[in-house]
Amino acid sequence: MSASTTPDPAGGDPLAGPVALCSREPRVPAERLVAELVPPPRFDSVRFDTYIPDPAQPSQRSAVKVLGEFAAGLGGDRAAGEGRRGLWPRRQRRPSAPEPRGVYLDGGYGVGKTHLLASLWHAVPAAPEVKAFGTFVELTNLVGALGFQQTVRTLSGHRLLCIDEFELDDPGDTVLVSSLLSRLVAEGVALAATSNTLPDKLGEGRFAAADFLREIQGLSAHFRALRIDGDDYRHRGLPTPPAPREDAAVSRLAHQRPGASLDDFGALLDHLARVHPSRYGALCEGVTTVCLTGVRAVPDQTTALRLVVLADRLYDREIPVVASGVPFDRLFSEEMLNGGYRKKYFRAISRLTALARDGERVAAG
């Protein structure tokens, strides 16, 4: 296959070869952070009826039903006179709602929580401008960019705020976001969330709803917990992860595929330390395939957590990965996989494995 002259989506000359993520230092303006609070490309087209419940897990089918009813309950019309005051006008606001104004999806990695959360966002009968969807990291970055009060004003006119992967690892950020959500609830904004594991929780890849509700302090009364049982769907009935390729094969593919990136894995890890995680999505913008040479076990936990964020952004954007070196299930040490961040690491392995399967199809095509 010869190099294509198709315009390079990554912004370079296709004849000049692949781009390097290590050469990019993106800057993301605050207004873009707000505009991008929508489900990522991977979840653009998901809906409740595209979620395939595991027949062996009735809680999955039940969650779809409850979330559908929750979405329908967020209909209605916010008249112009309501301004940014919430779901109901002040004079009509109920002193206490009969049902919680938030839902928390409680389940292990790979049971489809993000699919369901994005489906909820799509199902709420309201314009995209009054619905927001983002990860916890994206929300904290928004507060950092806009300031607390401006973030409250920006989001208080929304009907729904969906928060994926609610981080409970940093007590300061947890208190910050809990305070933000308390203000938004007072304005009538409905909430929906998934979360990850606390550092000292060594359970089997799941986070307990009771711990989530305790950590968000006074917000717990606003959430109804929906348990979603099951195994990681990315591994359900699928083949084993593809074997890594040789360095030369990875480089050759990167030069043949328009818009591909090519980086040494160690150099990329070093570069991630110089780019704020809020910019990792912009870092891979326009890239069609991520090609990595020399993949190896990450050296420390700080580096590993950065890699987790990058894996999430690549997965959100459905960017295939082709790599040489060690298989992705050997990225993290046994100590890491048995430690407090184990759920994050298993999620990263799961998602990178799925992207590596996509990369196999790219290479075969």
pLDDT in tens, 213-251: 666 666 667 788 888 888 766 555 544 678 999 999 999
Q: Nearest CA to 322 among 259, 266, 235, 246?
A: 246
Name residues whose C-beta falls within 8 Å of residue 38's C-beta, 6 or more positions apart in sequence. 121, 128, 131, 132, 133
Bridge-based pairing of strands 102-107 and 190-195 is parallel
Strand order in the sheet with 102-107: 131-135, 160-166, 190-195, 102-107, 223-228
**pLDDT one digit per residue (tens) for the chain, 365 residues:** 333 333 343 444 545 689 999 999 998 887 788 888 999 888 999 999 999 998 999 999 999 999 999 999 887 544 333 333 333 333 344 444 445 689 988 877 678 899 999 999 999 998 988 999 998 888 988 898 889 999 999 999 899 999 998 876 666 777 888 889 889 999 999 999 987 544 344 334 444 556 666 666 666 677 888 888 887 665 555 446 789 999 999 999 999 999 999 999 999 999 999 998 888 989 999 999 999 999 999 999 999 999 999 999 999 899 999 999 999 999 999 999 888 777 788 889 988 999 999 999 999 97
Residue 350, pLDDT score: 87
| Cβ atoms of 222 and 98 closer than 8 Å | no
Which residue matches tokens 């890890």? 269
Which residue matches tokens 């409850």? 66
Q: What is the CATH number of domain 55-230?
A: 3.40.50.300
For CA atoms 134, 353, 227, 335, the dihedral sign is negative
What burial class does residue 266 get, using C-beta atoms within 10 Å of its C-beta: 0-12 exposed, 13-18 middle, 19+ buried?
middle
Q: What distance in Å separates the CA atoms of residue 131 and residue 196, rounded to the nearest whole number?
A: 23
Token pair listed for 146: 């806009």
Q: Nearest CA to 119 among 157, 185, 57, 72?
A: 72
pLDDT in tens, 266-294: 999 999 999 988 889 899 999 999 999 99
What burial class does residue 49 get, using C-beta atoms within 10 Å of its C-beta: 0-12 exposed, 13-18 middle, 19+ buried?
exposed
| Cβ atoms of 97 and 189 closer than 8 Å | no
Task: Please give the single-letter amino acid code of residue 145.
Answer: A
3-class DSSP assignment, residue 293: strand
Q: What distance in Å separates the CA atoms of residue 247 and residue 79, rounded to the nearest whole number?
A: 60
Residue 365, pLDDT score: 79
What burial class does residue 129 get, using C-beta atoms within 10 Å of its C-beta: 0-12 exposed, 13-18 middle, 19+ buried?
exposed
**Torsion angle of the four alpha carbons 79, 81, 84, 87, in this order, in degrees rounded to the nearest 10:** -40
Number of residues written out for the chain: 365
Query: Where do the CATH 3.40.50.300 domains begin and end in the chain?
Result: 55-230
Q: What distance in Å separates the CA atoms of residue 137 and residue 134, rounded to the nearest whole number?
A: 8
What burial class does residue 348 get, using C-beta atoms within 10 Å of its C-beta: 0-12 exposed, 13-18 middle, 19+ buried?
buried
Phi, psi of 71 (to 5 degrees): -60, -45
Residue 36, pLDDT score: 86
pTM for this predicted structure? 0.74
| Cβ atoms of 166 and 195 closer than 8 Å | yes
| Cβ atoms of 111 and 58 closer than 8 Å | no
What radius of gyration, in Å, describes the C-alpha atoms of the chain?
A: 21
166-180: buried (b, 16+ CB within 10 Å) or exposed (e) per residue? bbbeeeebbebbbbb
Q: Nearest CA to 20 among 9, 10, 28?
A: 10
